[in-house]
């Protein structure tokens, strides 16, 4: 197996483990949170505090795996155009940094519900309300990370398209997904009641990113040199 193929499959493996870890953590944590009901949410979290903490740790692990996938893709696509490869790597790392920073609110919310004695100066319903606020802030932080996660798709898709060793159609779909995911980001903040865009962006995102993951993991990269980067 050549070096390009090894790097491609490494990127695919990191990407796949990231997707699985993220989905499991997100879906499991969703079972704890009842929007608008702080008391019920607190009860669920305190009843299974260990599992809730595991979902938070899983989210951090997923972020690390995502950055490793981006690094492997950078190594794979750097010969095509180094500056664009560096751009998508930095955008990915920006999203990872925001996501990891927002995850502190998951731990803070649990600390409020089941924390040290000095918090006894607050009433139980006050602590529950604050914990719910922190959970909402975490969701806002995660949404902010999507701005970076959307933006990185365009240079990534462009380099996939120009590479010569990955399918051009995957590059096109990734670039289109950049704009649909950006639309989802702006919709979530500016038009929260208008969710129709998600009917397009989520399926397209699955096709784009999961499709790239499977291709890298199963097919690898064609045994040919990428297009030479122009020297200006």
> Each residue of 114-145: b (16+ CB within 10 Å) or e?
eeeeeeeeeeeeebbbbbbebbebbeebbebb
Tens of pLDDT, residue by residue over 61-105, are: 999 999 999 999 999 999 999 999 999 999 999 999 999 999 999
| pLDDT of 160 strictly over 50 | yes
Per-residue model confidence (pLDDT) at position 1: 56
Determine if residue 164 is left, alpha or beta; phi over 0 gives left, psi from -120 to 50 gives alpha, anything else beta: left
**pLDDT value at 222 more than 80:** no
- How many degrees, rounded to 5, is the angle at CA 134 between CA 42 and CA 102? 130
Contact 110, 128 (CB under 8 A): no
SS3 137: helix
Domain extents for the chain?
Answer: 3-219
DSSP per-residue letters across 139-208: HHHHHHHHHHHHHTHHHHHHHHHHHSSS-HHHHHHHHHHHHHHHHHHHHHHH-TT--TTHHHHHHHHIII
Q: At 192, list the tokens.
A: 């929260």
Helix (H, G, I), strand (E, B) or coil at 78: coil
Q: What are 24-57's pLDDT values in tens digits?
A: 999 999 999 998 899 999 999 999 999 999 999 9
* Between residues 112 and 62, the one the model is more confident about: 62
């Amino acid at each position: 197996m050549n070096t390009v193929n090894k790097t491609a499959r490494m990127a695919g493996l990191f990407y796949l483990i990231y997707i699985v870890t993220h989905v499991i953590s997100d879906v499991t944590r969703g079972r704890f949170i009842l929007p608008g009901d702080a008391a019920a949410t607190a009860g669920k979290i305190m009843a299974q505090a260990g599992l809730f903490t595991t979902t938070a740790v899983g989210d951090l692990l997923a972020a690390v795996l995502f950055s490793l996938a981006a690094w492997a893709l950078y190594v794979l696509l750097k010969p095509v155009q180094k500056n664009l490869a560096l751009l998508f790597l930095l955008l990915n790392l920006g999203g990872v940094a925001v996501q990891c920073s927002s995850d502190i609110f998951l731990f803070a919310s649990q600390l409020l519900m089941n924390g040290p004695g000095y918090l006894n100066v607050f009433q139980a319903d006050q602590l529950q309300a604050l914990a719910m606020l922190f959970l909402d802030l975490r969701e806002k932080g995660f949404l902010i990370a999507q701005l970076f996660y959307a933006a990185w798709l365009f240079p990534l898709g462009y380099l996939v398209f120009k590479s010569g060793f990955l399918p051009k159609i995957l590059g096109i779909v990734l670039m289109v997904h950049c704009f649909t995911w950006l639309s989802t980001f702006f919709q979530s903040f500016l038009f929260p009641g208008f969710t129709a865009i998600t009917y397009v962006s989520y399926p397209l995102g699955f096709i784009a990113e999961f499709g790239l993951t499977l291709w890298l993991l199963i097919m690898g990269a064609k045994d040919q040199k990428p297009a030479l980067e122009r020297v200006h």
